[in-house]
Amino acid sequence: MTGATGEALAAIREETATRTVGPDGDVRVRSRGRDGLENPVTIDGDGWRVETKLPLLGDHQARNAGVAAALVRQVAVGPLAVDEKALADALARGLRNAHWPGRFEVMGREPLVVLDGAHNPGAAATVADTLETFAYDELHVVAGALADKDHRGIAAALPPADRITVCRPDHGRAEDEAVLAAAIKRATDVPSVETRADVPDAVDAALAAAGPEDAVLVTGSLHTVAEARDRWAGAQTPLAPRSLADARRRTSLAPDRAVHRVVKLRLRPRQVSELREAVANAGLSCRVPDRSGHSSDPVTVELGGTLTAFEQICDRLADRPELAGVAARLRTTLGPSRSATGSGFPWEAETALMGILNVTPDSFHDGGEFNDRPDAVARAEEMVAAGADIVDVGGESTRPGADPVPVEEEIDRVLPVVERIAQLDALVSIDTRKAAVARAALDAGADILNDVSGLEDPAMRLVAAEYDVPVVVMHSIDAPVVAGKDIPYDDVVADVIDELTERVLLAEKAGLDRSQIIVDPGIGFGKTARESFELLDRLEEFRALGCPVLVGHSHKSLFERVGREAGERYEPTVAATALAADRGADVVRVHDVAANAAAIDVAAEMGPAETETDQD
């Protein structure tokens, strides 16, 4: 089919819709179609207004935003005095950060890939209306549903498709794919209806058939969408135990001397049965946790063995339709830690060094030392001469108890420095939580965004995508750090990876490639010293995200655990840099460049000896 034309899109963008919310109709919502992947809305009440953009598309989501704003105000406004502007700003920011996985979630652009768990005719009609605001050539639908739904009604309400691939989600009440296909054929005149027994296989088939100008819609059930979403969000965690004792400590397997690698997989229950059968007598250890009752939730499976055994099992899995995608991801997970993308980023070839340049009066280690602009420029030149690949300029401290810095003041601090050092033989990074500061710094010559809040500012990812620059996404519960706040983790590494997964998806959906999204585990941010050391020790597990990894540990409080107070952390910082580089860090962020550059060089020489022609 042919989607909306350019003229029709322009008309849709100009169209406005006014809705009333509440028993008295006193909250009015005005939606202006779609701006990229956002939904601009204005919400008017009795003496108040909120203007924002929603990441949730469709006029119905604008109405939902109006309901949410009215409820928040009902709770917040009462006998207490409220700053109306502050409340409106908080509502605008909160609504712009309101992400809803599986509800018209755009996962790709070429082709357009949309996940929506619509499972009734009304919801399907809403999906059709929203999809019509996009331009595309052919529509490929992946459909899977539960048995007690109105299949014919859902099929009739969906937008006309050129091809439908029907599948069965891994759920006890899932409808048989042949039965669902028959219902769809009776309700539509779609020229091609195919069946697949497995959701991942159906998604693979649709993506293979779709051209870059086409659209792929996965729908029919939230269970179907959840399985499809694992293609982007499902992590396969690689471990590289350094000894048998290390393997026993870090995995649930009973390793022997043949275990060189361990990989944790997230699989659907049906895939687990297939995997167990496939790995039988393959030389791999396989552990599946006990499960009671039926659940469609992913299961974490651990595989352990030699690289040779993994290579052999990947060949075996590739011949099984339900596990072919698992095999492909396994090969990626166990492959080289770095691969050139042609971008020229310094971290592609070896561990890159990011030098810290704080132009603040109150940073925890060097506050006020380089607050003067000539001193800051001289310090940047010194760091580049000592081996810094990146100079990270920051105008706001994130130490515990630090006061927020207004946007204009932060810009005044960093902009003159960025402009002066942009011509140095190094990349320039801007360390900021604010999209407005990021934009100003990029205009002044910065090359990278470093966001310690993990994209808390909803516009940050869009700025990074607009300028097509790398962005560091850090895991942090609070920035600035809240001293003494206890953050519970079941497993600090697994929990941080899970939370970073959604942050990475936000940046990816904005238009960035994963090679441009640098993840930072956030050592010292909402973690105890022991947890920070655990993150450093298990750094290779972050390769599950498919992104470069940055480590920022310089002079931080985790070194109190080894008896080093503030001012005594130079040596442990250098030691940790060597360990981070050895464990696969792509970027290391430090204050003392020369010594840490030497540590990276030493770590790079570790490993199997290579044949050399010059032995002097």
Catalytic residues: 556, 589
| Cβ 573 vs Cβ 590: under 8 Å | yes
Distances (CA, A) of 287 to 290, 299, 370: 9, 11, 53
Tokens of 353: 């060094």
| Cβ 34 vs Cβ 23: under 8 Å | no
Q: Where are the beta strands (DSSP E) in 482-548?
A: 517-520
Can you say whether the dihedral through the CA atoms of 453, 458, 461, 463 is positive or negative?
A: negative
Largest distance between two CA atoms of the chain: 87
CA distance 476 to 499: 10
3-state helix/strand/coil string of 38-103 = EEEEEEECCCCEEEEEECCCCHHHHHHHHHHHHHHHHHHCCCCCCCHHHHHHHHHHHHHCCCCCCC
Give the chain's length: 616
Q: Compute CA 163 distance to the chain's CA centroid, rounded to the nearest angstrom.
A: 30
Quote the crossing angle between the two packed helices 373-386 and 407-421, to the nearest 10°. 50
For residue 285, the surrounding DSSP H or E stretch is strand 285-287
Tokens of 47: 């003496």
Report the relative pairing of strands 193-195 and 215-219 from DSSP bridges: unpaired
Amino acid letter, 589: R
Residue identified by tokens 């920035």 is 479
Q: Compute CA 102 distance to the chain's CA centroid, rounded to the nearest angstrom.
A: 15
Tokens of 545: 């995200």
Distant-in-sequence, close-in-space partners of 256: CB < 8 Å, separation ≥ 6: 244
Tokens of 227: 């399985």
Residue of 63, 188, 59 whose CA lies nearest to 129 = 59
Q: C-alpha angle with apex 279: 278 to 284, nearest 5 degrees? A: 165
* DSSP 8-state assignment for residue 348: G
| Cβ 104 vs Cβ 116: under 8 Å | yes
Can you say whether the dihedral through the CA atoms of 92, 98, 99, 102 is positive or negative?
A: negative
Residue of 410, 418, 415 whose CA lies nearest to 377 = 418
Contacts 24+ apart (CB under 8 A), 443-450: 444/415, 444/418, 444/419, 445/418, 445/419, 446/393, 446/418, 446/422, 447/390, 448/390, 448/472, 448/518, 450/392, 450/394, 450/474
Q: Where are the beta strands (DSSP E) in 561-601?
A: 587-590
* DSSP 8-state assignment for residue 160: P
For residue 429, the surrounding DSSP H or E stretch is strand 427-431
